[in-house]
Each structure stands twice: as C-alpha cells, then as structure tokens.
Amino acid sequence: MAYAITQSCCNDASCVSVCPVDCIHPTPDEPDFGTTDILYVDPKVCIDCGACADACPVSAVKPVDILRDGEEVFAQLNADFYADRPERTSPAKHTWEDMGPTVGRPLRIAVVGTGPAASYAARHLLLSTDASVTMLDKSPVPGGLVRGGVAPDHADTKGFASLFSWAYRHPRTSMYMNVEVGDHVTHEELLQFHDAVIYGVGARLDRELGVPGEDLGGVHGAPEVVGWYNGALDVASDAVRLVGERLVIVGNGNVALDIARLVLSEPAALRRTDMPEAAIEEIGRSAIREVVLLGRRGPDVAAFTRPELLMMPPGIEVVVARDDATDEALDAAEPGGKAALLAELPRRSIDLSAPPEPGARLVFAFGRQVTSVEGDERVEAVQIAPTGRPDEAIKVPAGTLVRSTGHRGRPVPDLPFDEVTSTVPNVEGRVIDPATGKPVPGAYVTGWIKRGATGGIGTNRVCAHETVATMLEDGAAGRLRMPPGSRRALGKLLRRRVPELVTRRRMLAIEDAEVSRGQAAGRPRVKFTSADQMLTLARSRR
C-alpha cells in the first residue's frame, strides 16, 4: 500500500525531509521544484512507512487505499509523474536544509509579519539556532495568508496555523501585534534592539486592467474579495455585493477558481467553514449562477493547478467556451499539460451577450480581454473582445467584475523598492540598495516581497531558509551590528508608542475566543471581523 500526495499539497517539502528512501520529488535541490502543482510519491519506491503523512502540515499525504470523494485520481497522478522520469541509482543527498556557518553568540532577530514566509523564517531560527525572535505584525492576530488568503473551504490547508503556532508560543519568541513597522517603530529603531530585521510582509495589492469604467462600483480586485470572504480586518463586511446573474473574473488561476467555487456554493456548505456570516448571507442572496473566467491567452498557459480543478465539487457544471483557436489548442494538446486537462471538459458554443442558462456553471473563456466596463454608478455590462482585436468586442451583461490577475507588493518603509517587479531589491534575501549596490544594514526579506507573487504557501519554507542562511552567513562574517538595546527596552518603547499594543497573551486570548465561538456554532472558528472587537477582548486580558 503506497502513499499518494493529494490536492491540498503545500509544496513545503516537509515530507521530503523525512522520507527514508527518497521517494518524494521534486525536491528543493532539483531544478523542477516549484514548477509542479504538487509533490509526488513514487509508488514503486515507497515503503509505506507513513513518515511523510506524519510530517505533512496540511494532511495531503494519504494511503492510496483510503482515497475517497474524488481523490482517487491522485494515486494515478503520483504514478504518472514517474513514468518518464529517469530512475535514480542512489538516494539524493539533500543539502537544502543546511544553515551554513554558525554565529559565535546568540542573535536577536526581528521578523516583521506573521504570515507563512515570516513564520517559516522564525521556525528556521528557533529550530536551528539559539537566536531570540521578535515577531511584529500590524494585525492583532497572526496568520497572514493562512488566515486571510486561503479559501475557507480548504480546511486542510488552513491547518498551517497549528504549524506556526509553535513558533508564536516558543519561549525565545516575543510577540508584538497591532504594530505598524514604519509608523510606530522604524527599521533603524528595530536595529537598536536586534542584530537584523527580516521582512515577510507579503504582497496585498492587485494589478489593475487599465480600461475605462474600471472605477465603477461592483469592480473588485481579487485581494479585496478574498479578504471579504475571509473576514480580513482591512475589508468591510459589506465591501462586496454580488449583483446580477453573471460574475466575470479576469484571470484563471487558483484564486479565480476559489472565488468562482465559493460564489456558486450553497450557504449550508459554507457554514461548515470559518467564512464570516455576512459573506455567507451575501452569497445566499446572490442570483449569480454563471461565472466566466477570462484568459488573455490560450488554454495551454492557463494559470490554475490541476488539483484545484480536479477537486471542483459536484453540482457546478464546468465547461470551455468554444472558438476556433481554443478548439485547435485543445485538439492538439500535449499529454500532461493544462490544455490536455481542459480538453476533457465539455465544450459549448456560449453566447455571452445573452443571459446565462439555468444551473450553476463555470465557463473558461480563452483568448479574450476586457476592453471597457459599462454602467452608471456600478457595473452593468463588460465589453469583451478577442485578445488584440478590440473592435470585435461584445457587450456581456454582468453585475460584478473581479480582477484576478496577480498580486504586487507595496513599498516597505525605510527600504528600497523596485516599482517594476513590486519587490524589495535583494540578493538571496539580503536587501541591496540599487543606488550603491551595497547591502542595507541589517535588512533582509522573504516571501512575495522578496521574489514576487509566485508560489504557494509551502514555497515560502525554502525561500525563508535561503534568507535565514544568508543572514547567518553575514553574522558569522561579522557583518551584523550588535544591538545596544535590550528586549525589555523594546517592550517599553512599544508600550509607549502603541496605545493598543497586543502582546502574546492577549493575542492568544483572541485566538482562543474565536475557536470557542466556533465550537459553540459547530464550526472551526468564528472570526472577529473588526479590530475593535479584537482589541476590546484584548483589553479584558490586561
């Protein structure tokens, strides 16, 4: 009985680290790591020890004999990955977890952010060094992308929260929440109390389309919609209204699929998740029955991952809109590619200028672009044309439009910023001033603000490892300045600067209260959706 890796795979390679027979690939040492949708178990090499299943933070590794509810396909997907892969004559010697040189004194490191990239950096430091870690976040609660970016119905992926909770509770960790770095405290001030600062602040902005009418009501960026259905503190509970019978989403990646699936879901199913009630009620009121995913290019370069599409629940019809170019690409699809997967779906000649047909339906439409948005105060229709042929646009009735065309970072106070890549300039995580070509003292980055908005949650493990290794190399070479201030002095400074400072005890009290609210309602948790609610509870724990 071999094991197989399934849909919720996070690609963080925890399973690779513990496999005694090197049967899980690609590994972080291999060039195709990060390019595959998931990692894969070689069923011919697997010895059924179960170490990978124990190590997986999202419960994605399962014995093939117990796969159910559509997951059976992953047994074959795992085996197929090795069909054309060269056989290995000896197990690989993995070096990607080596931290490099050691530093002759305990370091004090500040980590800005509590999302996956920042939390992986903290874990690496706590597991591999004797460093003390200070974690700071502008939110009163931790989690970043795990809390605010993972679809509510991906319960296994949300299991990452427990992995990182270990770091938050560690005795060498200090937590200071509701702190805006750059406002309440500067980079230079943090260096008065720390040897270095690692920024894992993510990329929360979306990319605009640049078309007329884009500023109308009912046009949303995917980060806003995702924040809305996850109860993000910076998105109002009534920020999204699902108007009309058709939702148009520009983009066809996993986030676009998440939005489509959730909007078309039954409220009863959503009430088994941690989605805020306001979002569930809006979806329940919605008349939307068709979601159209627009791709500027063809089906061979669709951005979604295979597992995300394979796990689309029953009751939602998934079709491909026919046109000559799409049909040609699907008919000529190479095995194993996105086009081959889409070729297995029904193809329909769909008149997008007409009202949608009855039933819940997801439509992939390729080779199309939005040329303008029409309406008085909010979107009423979208002009959609074949890519590169705006004069052939048709008017598509739609009451809601979502841009799901990627994320971009925002400038980080006191650090250089590349407006083209929306990242902080760096070499292997070490921040570089492009004006001088020299490192910015004590500044390091990890995650999307380091490499751009690519890769899923688990990819941040390898990214954070590289950054921490670079920082330790600098420490061993004497390039880090010993801070004059103490940890206690930092706490005093932040208490003076931040009127509503949330320390670890208060942060955990908020977390515990959400879980308790969830238990009372038969749900994983019931989130507080405003900072005021959280801070009121935090005050009671003084």
More confident residue, 406 or 440: 440
pLDDT per residue over 337-358, tens digit each? 899 999 999 999 999 999 999 9
Query: What's the mean pLDDT in 459-468?
Result: 94
Annotated binding-site residues for FAD read 117, 145, 181, 448, 455-457
Question: What global pTM score does this model have?
Answer: 0.93
Q: What is the pLDDT of residue 478?
A: 94
Could you list the residues known to form a binding site for NADP(+), using ranges: 252-255, 296-297, 308, 455
Can you say whether the dihedral through the CA atoms of 237, 243, 246, 250 is positive or negative? negative
pLDDT at 96: 64
| CB distance 433 to 440 below 8 Å | yes
pLDDT at 189: 98
Q: Residue 106, preceding bond cis, omega within 30 degrees? A: no
Work out the burial of residue 287: count CB atoms within 10 Å of its CB; fewer than 13 is exposed, 13-18 middle, 19 or more buried.
exposed
Sequence-distant (6+) residues with CB within 8 A of 249 are 222, 256, 259, 260, 291, 292, 293, 294, 401, 402, 404
Q: Pick from 132, 143, 74: which is nearest to 507 by CA?
A: 143
**pLDDT (0 to 100) of residue 267:** 95
What single-letter amino acid sits at 263? V
What structural domains and CATH numbers belong to the chain?
Answer: 3-81 (3.30.70.20), 108-204+409-503 (3.40.50.720), 237-404 (3.50.50.60)
Rg of the Cα trace of the chain? Answer: 24
Binding site as annotated, residues: 117, 145, 181, 252-255, 296-297, 308, 448, 455-457
For the stretch 471-502, pLDDT in tens is 999 999 999 999 999 999 999 999 999 999 99
